[in-house]
Structure 1
Amino acid sequence: MIDPQELADVAWVLAAMTVVLLMFPGIALFYGGMSGKNNVLNMFAMTMSTLGTVTVLYVLFGHSLVLGDSLGGVIGDPTTFFGLVGNEDSGVDGGFSVTSDMAFYTMFACITVAIVASGALGRMKFSAWIVFSMVWVTLVYFPLGHWVFGDGWMGRVLDFHDYAGGTAVHMASGFASLALALVLGPRKKTASRPHSMPLVLLGAGILWMGWMGFNGGSAGGANYVAQYTMMTTVYAGGTGMLGFMLYEKFRHGKSTVLGLASGAIAGLVAITPAADGVDPFGALALGLIAGAFVAWACTWKTKLGIDESLDAWAVHGLGGIVGALFVVFFGWATYTNDEPIRGIFFGGDISLLWGELAAIAVTCTFSFSVTWIIVKVMDKTMGIRVNDEDEDDLDFKLHGETAYDYN
């Protein structure tokens, strides 16, 4: 007889996966609105194409590399779930099966690569992006995914807390975006301003909705952890918005809609590793701190002349670090895990800090350095930048289309 709770778990994970799928048009609108009016479709194409390229690889060997039988803690056995061959009967009873996990984690891999597109705005060949996305997910995300989500060495050796991918998803994509932007170099012409704030705000709202499935679905079923993490996700997103706007107000005298949207995403990024480990007040504080810190980081990045104007490094890379460290110091949750989560300031062991710092350092260093090597090799072999004169109109030059009919 099928357990009703198991059926409920399957239904929730599949529903969460469907909501996470909305993050793709969400990030396309968010990034596209921040792009120039003639580079909108190019950004749409880069973010949405990951649903094609990464999905193929995930079915062939990605799920096996991430959650397959561990080979010395380094990577999963690529044959474990190869196309689900040999796993056909795993869910014939209608209960929870590997297919539910596989579908859900496919979305994680795809959205992580889509975030990296921030570093390529306005100057990367689309063909090069397709190749890069497939190489990057194989050499960077799949190993990191195994270390964090699977039976990898980081989970075995380091005592760190990461609820839903602050390391393998957000820090990895943020620092990869930085490496991509640095190797590509700045755009030759003046960087364009966001062409449509309504698109940015709409994209941020859709992303926020997707985050409910991202964090809620990571609970693995219809349970209390799913309820709890969706609650903290809402709170951190809201105060992240406030933190960014307050920083802008004190620093520049005005709060912008772009800051409102970016701050909400910063709060959502920060709560991802900590969603099950903070109480409601902690979620409010975390979002506020993350929003303000990311706003400051965006200003600092501009002064350094880094052309990564969609801010994945600041929002995802640094925002993820803020969330991971916050739960170590201020974590407080007594009902979401077998053992209560307590930060250092609430009686937790300071040894948690060293494990968290090591996980952060490994993730950021690995993602940045391997991405740098990938892009350098691609640049030397196939070339990755468009011609300077094409930068202002990638939509037509690369895709033969325009986002808007001015006639």
Structure 2
Amino acid sequence: MRKIILSVILIALSVLTLFSTFILSPIVAPAEEPVFDTGDTAWMIVATALVLIMTPGLGFFYGGMVGKKNVISTMLQSFMAMLVVTLLWILVAFSLSFGTSIGGFIGNPADYFMFQNVDIHTAWGTIPFLLFALFQAKFAIITPALITGAFAERIRFWAYMLFMVLFTLFIYTPLCHMTWHEDGLFFKMGVLDFAGGTVVHMSAGWAALAGAMFLGKRRIQKVNPARITYVLLGTGLLWFGWFGFNAGSSLGANGLAVQALGTTTVAAAAAGMAWIFMDKILGHKVSAMGACIGTVVGLVAITPAAGFVSIPHAIFIGIFSSIVSNYMVSLFPKGKIDDALDVFACHGVGGMVGMLLTGVFASNAINPAVGDNQGLIFGDTTLFITQLTALVIVSVFAFLGSYALFFIVNKITPLRVTEDKEELGLDISQHGEYL
């Protein structure tokens, strides 16, 4: 039955692609081509490539943390997000995210179906519309990949594939639309999320918690990390790519991009150092794993604030988020909820801390888009309350929605591998490969 379903999907996608020229409106060059800014366009091409490299970086980051029998399967889950979500984004997910708003919650799926009307003849600000759409695709790719760390070493490959599709369509695209579309609910509320605190990290963090709870504990929870060197390499790739993630969200080669690059740099460094100090204070040895995790937490936390806060405030965000996430990792009930790679404590909590601290430190001197409602530190409570409201809504929606999707997927096809296959390791049992 699975072979039949996969064959039908493959044939349908091929036919749809082949005949899209006939069933969709033809591309017609306008009488007067828009004039693009070459500097902005060049930077956004680079930024798009930088964001994409974050996903294989995440694969190394997660792959090095799991046991030796599950390295390939864990890394492959990130790689598959690059394949599946790219096609899904072109098919309908971009339209759901940035199409004409339906009630402020979701975009019209017909507007940009199969990238109809998404081309190089239309401008998005100072860059081609197609470039903007491809840049946004990379955000959609990494979000479900982030979730995989929570249910590592025990999920069936095809069940993960189905969940990834459903999560992208029913969790990611509504949050993306509400946050970044000019008619979106959160956008009109005045919520500030520069590069994905709600859309990417909170949604992934809460989905990770839902997945860890639904799938249950691994048979063996304490395993030696397979490759600490992979974790170091993955962290380097993530930090490198994060400059495209945050600085690219300025959508131009401008001062705001430089500001976001600066805040991203110092928040990551401060968080990595704070994690090491916290480990030492708590009586642990200074570890490469700790330094890497702390650095990533800083990158997560600064994401929503990157283009709204000053350099000193970014340092505080990095330190504070690292302390909170470190404390959450130590408190998280591993015996009851097996979030294998602490995705919720790092990405979920880090994203929430970043969203709230954006409401504390956002300044219109850094970014005029902040408007009159600046951060709490400037004596205005409006923005902080708005950020808190969005945090609560996103948390409830992402957790309950993701839990429901896990339930649905499990009804269609079992989510967990059998005990003997888990014992054998997913590399062999799911893919017939091993290190």
TM bucket (normalised to shorter chain) is: over 0.9
Shift of the 3–132 alpha-carbon distance from structure 1 to 2, 3 Å rule, reads closer
Q: TM-score, normalised by structure 2?
A: 0.88
How far 1:283 sits from its partner (Å)? 0.8
- Secondary structure of the equivalent of 1:309? coil
Hey, what's the Cα distance between the residues in 2 that align with 1:191 and 1:376?
Answer: 27
TM-score relative to the length of structure 1: 0.94
Structure 2 unaligned residues grouped into runs of 5+: 1-31
**1:282–1:331 contact (8 Å) kept in structure 2:** no
Is residue 196 of structure 2 the alignment partner of residue 165 of structure 1? yes
**Greater shift in the superposed pair: 279-288 or 81-90:** 81-90
Quote the residue 2:143 is aligned against.
112
The answer on whether the counterparts of 2:100 and 2:108 sit within 8 Å (CA) in structure 1 is yes
Kindly indicate whether the alpha-carbon contact (under 8 Å) linking 1:246 and 1:292 is maintained by their aligned counterparts in 2: no
Count of residue correspondences: 401
SS at match of 1:120: coil
Find 1:226's aligned residue among 251, 257, 267.
257
Tell me how far apart the structure 1 counterparts of residues 301 and 373 of structure 2 sit (CA, whole Å).
17
Contact 2:67/2:224, CA 8 A, preserved across alignment: yes
2-structure distance, mates of 1:343, 1:251: 33
In structure 1, C-alpha distance between the alignment counterparts of 2:219 and 2:385, rounded to whole Å: 42
Q: Matched residue of 2:195: which SS?
A: coil
Deviations 1:347-386 (A, max 9, x none): 3x21222211111011111111011011112223311110
Matches within 5 A, 1:124-273: 124-150=155-181, 151-156=183-188, 158-273=189-304
Matching residue of 1:344:
376
What is the one-letter code of the residue matched to 1:57? Answer: L
Structure 1's unaligned 5+ residue stretches are none
Partner AA of 1:126 in structure 2:
F
Counterparts of 2:358 and 2:118 in 1: how far apart (Å)?
37
Q: Check the 8 A contact 1:277/1:341 in 2, yes or no.
A: no
Judge conservation of contact 2:96–2:108 (CA < 8 Å) in 1: yes
Closer, same or farther in 2 for the Cα pair 1:395/1:253, shift >3 Å? closer
Report deviation, 1:340.
6.9
Compute the displacement of 1:87 (Å).
4.2
In structure 2, relative to structure 1, the CA distance for the partners of 1:86 and 1:294 (3 Å cut) is closer
AA of the residue aligned to 2:114 = G
Checking the alignment, whether the CA contact within 8 Å between 1:20 and 1:107 is kept in structure 2 is yes
Partner SS, residue 53 of structure 1: helix
Q: Tell whether the 8 Å contact from 2:278 to 2:323 is kept in structure 1 after alignment.
A: yes
Correspondence 1:67 to 2:106: no
Distance 1:261 1:126 in 2: 27
Distance 1:214 1:247 in 2: 28
The answer for the alignment partner of 2:321 in structure 1 is: 290
Deviation at 1:97, TM superposition (A): 2.0
Cα contact 1:259–1:295 (8 A) shared by 2: no
* 1:275 is aligned to 2:306: yes
Query: Among 51, 56, 59, which residue is 2:82 paired with?
Result: 51
Runs of 4+ in 1 over 4 A off after TM superposition: 1-5
